[in-house]
Amino acid sequence: MPAVVQWAAVHDAPEYVLDDVGTPIKHLMRASGDETYDRLHAIWDGAIAQRFGLRQFQARVKFYDTAALLIERRDNGPHGISDDEFLGRDSAPWRAAVGATPRIVPWVTSRAERNFLRLCARLELAQ
């Protein structure tokens, strides 16, 4: 199984411990010089890579994760600010990836969990 696919499945795993901090908040933290969350996330990424025998984090996963974030924002908000403002940087690299993707249809928690665990088993990440 390609490492990029395995990373895609577990790329947000540090948020289980660190909590999910929204992109605009992370941008404000970085702008003020506070890189604590980024450093902790990197430590957890390293631990996850070691645990599952993965190479270090895949940049392609981060690219598509940001594209997914912009799709979520398009469909669910917040509205009233630009993608550039939301990301805290130029959003041009992701515009083509966001393109004409279909609208997101949310799953109930039980369905999301069931599908995620099936994916982990298929990718040999479940123990």
Residues 6+ apart with CB under 8 A from 82: 91
What single letter denotes the amino acid at residue 108? V
pTM of the model: 0.69
* Per-residue model confidence as pLDDT tens digits over 56-84: 767 888 888 889 889 988 888 888 888 88
Question: ω into residue 106 within 30 of 0, thus cis?
Answer: no
Assess whether pLDDT exceeds 70 at residue 126.
no
Q: What is the pLDDT of residue 35?
A: 94
